[in-house]
Amino acid sequence: MANISLPRYARHDAPRQPGVANHCLPKEKCGVFGVWGHARGAGLCYLGLYAQQHRGQESAGIAVSDGTKLNHHTGMGLVAEVFDGDTIEELNAVGASGAIGHNRYSTAGGSLACNAQPLLENYIGGQVAVAHNGNLINAEALRLKFEQAGHLFHTTSDTEVIIHLLASPRQQQAPDPLGSTLRYLQGAFSLLFLFPDRIEAARDPWGWRPLVIGRLPDGAYVFASETVALDVVGAVFVREVEPGEIVTAREDGLHSRRYAEAAPRPAHCAFEHVYFANPASVIFGQNVEVTRERLGEQLAREAPALADYVVPMPDSGRSAALGFARFSGISYREAIVPNRYVGRTFIKPSQEQRQAAVRLKLNIIDELVRGKRLVIVDDSIVRGTTTKAKMDQLRSFGASEIHLRISCPPIRHPCYFGVDFARRSELVATGRSIEDIRAYLGVDTLHYLSMEGLLSCMSRPGAHYCTACWTGEYRLDPEHPSTERIIESEQLRMFAT
């Protein structure tokens, strides 16, 4: 097996360099949705994407099949900006037997129209559209190999290499071209492929990102990143797509096969529970809201404080603050009011946009803050700029004490598996002690939840979660991507679900 080094521009802690591929590092964190067997699939996709808007706010797209050919529409912006009633009706009018959709966000400079998904391509096997949630750590290495062989790429997304792999002669000659393709991928992927006659849903063997199957009352099958999207379209949860599995939805029903064994030690992203997922979703078998409240209770157990009020940092600190207040017996008050029309700040592509969003985002209620001892609960601190701005605001409104409690450990390491935190040098906790961070933020006390405390709130064994952004222990080495077939499997096992 030949390993090659990850190009400098693909390392998250490396300075970003001008030039090819630098402007769209492949590290989006997205939401996918698909439906097979429903005449108005595009309309359902629209709703499913709307329900998962929190997973990506820079572009959206829907691809549909009429049974013989694919069509698609993508654009920059929120789902409601990319699609209007006419666009959805045009896609529905195709008489869709199947449809897949995608919400995307990217890192700095990668917010390009060409990268909006689903990517739709013609290749030797026909047509395929792809929607990807996650990040491949060997995409740059694979791409380089293809480019050296003369391949042309239309996008700067890591997802496009999957199509080049699928179209390659070696995969096309394999008994299962898609399964063979997936065995070359290293990293996190929850994928939906739309072919004219079917949807294929696949998940990496480590199970980094969620991917679930649902069923509509009329029998149509639905795929989604989060269960909240199933709820919105009226589908019932069937099960997760298992790590290492491909599930096919086609005219004769649902079929499953394995392209790889599930990794003996899964790597479910614990940060989905801490921050990303919708509170109403069930992720990796447990409800997100209940989990976040548990994190808050555990935080109160580990780091109590004497205070007048427990105040959540809106919006994602709210659930943990409820748990903290319940356990500590201190009154829960919403003293910080968010402007709901400003997006999440750390996923905006430029520092300037992030700072502007912070200023727009919050109003303080004077009566609940002036002269009061406050426990402020937030879910995480990434760069620290947003948190510092909020602490400064609270001080300026006369808070007498601020005890900041964070419902996860300090984030000190970049994520290579689909979450764009920041480069290592931009993370406030990298190279700083807790006391340094406390002093920088200007609070009276600061406590983070322990790693053990976080994992004690999860329903699956602690070893089954990825915690690399806190611990630096990566399940796959991002410094050594491979272009060789890396996921070996026992014989493909075909079985009906």
Nearer of residues 313 and 469 to ligand SF4, judged by Cβ: 469
Q: Is 269 near ligand SF4 (CB under 6 A)?
A: yes
Q: Is 417 one of the binding residues for ligand SF4 (CB under 6 A)?
A: yes
User: What would the x/- binding string for ligand SF4 be over residues 170 to 209, using CB under 6 A?
Assistant: --------------------------------------x-
Q: Which residue lies nearer to ligand SF4 by CB, 266 or 323?
A: 266
Residue 271 is a binding residue for ligand SF4 (CB under 6 A): yes
Q: Which of 495, 315, 297, 485 is nearest to 405 (CA)?
A: 297
Task: Indicate which single residue of 419, 441, 446, 458 sits in contact with ligand SF4 (rule: CB under 6 A).
Answer: 419
Eight-class DSSP state of 241: P
Q: Considering only the stretches 66-74, 191-199, 357-365, 411-419, report the one whose residues sit in contact with ligand SF4 under the rule CB under 6 A.
A: 411-419
Which of 182, 202, 469, 476 is in the footprint of ligand SF4 by CB under 6 A?
Answer: 469
* Under rule CB under 6 A, residue 427 binds ligand SF4: no
Q: What are phi and psi of 402, to 5 degrees?
A: -125, 120
Rounded to whole angstroms, the Cα distance separating 103 from 120 reads 15
Q: Which is nearer to ligand SF4, 303 or 469 (CB)?
A: 469
Identify the active-site residue in 24, 30, 45, 269: 30
Taking CB under 6 A as the criterion, the residue among 468, 476, 481, 483 binding ligand SF4 is: 468
CB nearer ligand SF4, residue 394 or residue 469 = 469
Judged by CB under 6 A, the stretch of 65-73, 92-100, 265-273, 343-351 that binds ligand SF4 is 265-273
Does the footprint of ligand SF4 cover residue 105 (CB under 6 A)? no
Residue 466: CB minimum distance to ligand SF4, A = 3
Task: Based on the residue annotation, tell me whether 30 is a catalytic residue of this protein.
Answer: yes
406: contact with ligand SF4 by CB under 6 A: no
Stretch that binds ligand SF4, among 230-238, 353-361, 399-407, 462-470 (CB under 6 A): 462-470
Closest among 455, 456, 457 to 466, alpha carbons compared:
455
Stretch that binds ligand SF4, among 117-125, 382-390, 466-474, 479-487 (CB under 6 A): 466-474
Does residue 466 touch ligand SF4 according to CB under 6 A? yes
Position among 117, 467, 482, 483 found at the interface with ligand SF4 (CB under 6 A): 467
Site string for ligand SF4, 203-232 (x = CB under 6 A): -----x------------------------
- Give the C-alpha separation, 299 to 456, whole Å: 11
Task: State the Cα–Cα distance between residues 116 and 75, nearest whole angstrom.
Answer: 6
Question: Of these, 270, 336, 347, 402, which contacts ligand SF4 (CB under 6 A)?
Answer: 270
User: In terms of CB distance, is 330 or 476 closer to ligand SF4?
Assistant: 476
Q: Which is nearer to ligand SF4, 73 or 209 (CB)?
A: 209
State the SS3 of the chain. Answer: CCECCCCHHHCCCCCCCCCCCHHHCCCCCCEEEEEECCCCHHHHHHHHHHHCHHHCCCEEEEEEECCCCEEEEEEECCHHHHCCHHHHHHHHHCCCCEEEEEEECCCCCCCCHHHCCCEEEEECCEEEEEEEEEEECCHHHHHHHHHHCCCCCCCCCCCHHHHHHHHCHHHHCCCCHHHHHHCCCCEEEEEEEEECCEEEEEECCCCCCCCEEEECCCCCEEEECCHHHHHHHCCEEEEECCCCEEEEEECCEEEEEECCCCCCCCCEECHHHHHHCCCCCEECCEEHHHHHHHHHHHHHHHCCCCCCEEEECCCCCHHHHHHHHHHHCCEECCCEEECCCCCCCCCCCCHHHHHHHHHHHEEECHHHHCCCEEEEEECCCCCCHHHHHHHHHHHHCCCCEEEEEECCCCCCCCCCCCCCCCCHHHCCCCCCCHHHHHHHHCCCEEEECCHHHHHHCCCCCHHHEECHHHHCCCCCCCCCCECCCCCCCCCCCEEEC
Give the footprint of ligand SF4 on residues 294-333 (CB under 6 A): none
User: Which is nearer to ligand SF4, 83 or 276 (by Cβ)?
Assistant: 276
Stretch that binds ligand SF4, among 66-74, 268-276, 322-330, 379-387 (CB under 6 A): 268-276
**Is 42 or 282 the residue whose CB approaches ligand SF4 more closely?**
282
Q: Please report whether residue 415 would count as binding ligand SF4 according to CB under 6 A.
A: yes
233 vs 263, which CB is nearer to ligand SF4?
263
Segment interacting with ligand SF4, rule: CB under 6 A, options 106-114, 139-147, 258-266, 463-471: 463-471
> What length does the chain have?
497
* List of residues contacting ligand SF4 (CB under 6 A): 208, 269-271, 415, 417, 419, 466-469
Name the residues annotated as catalytic: 30
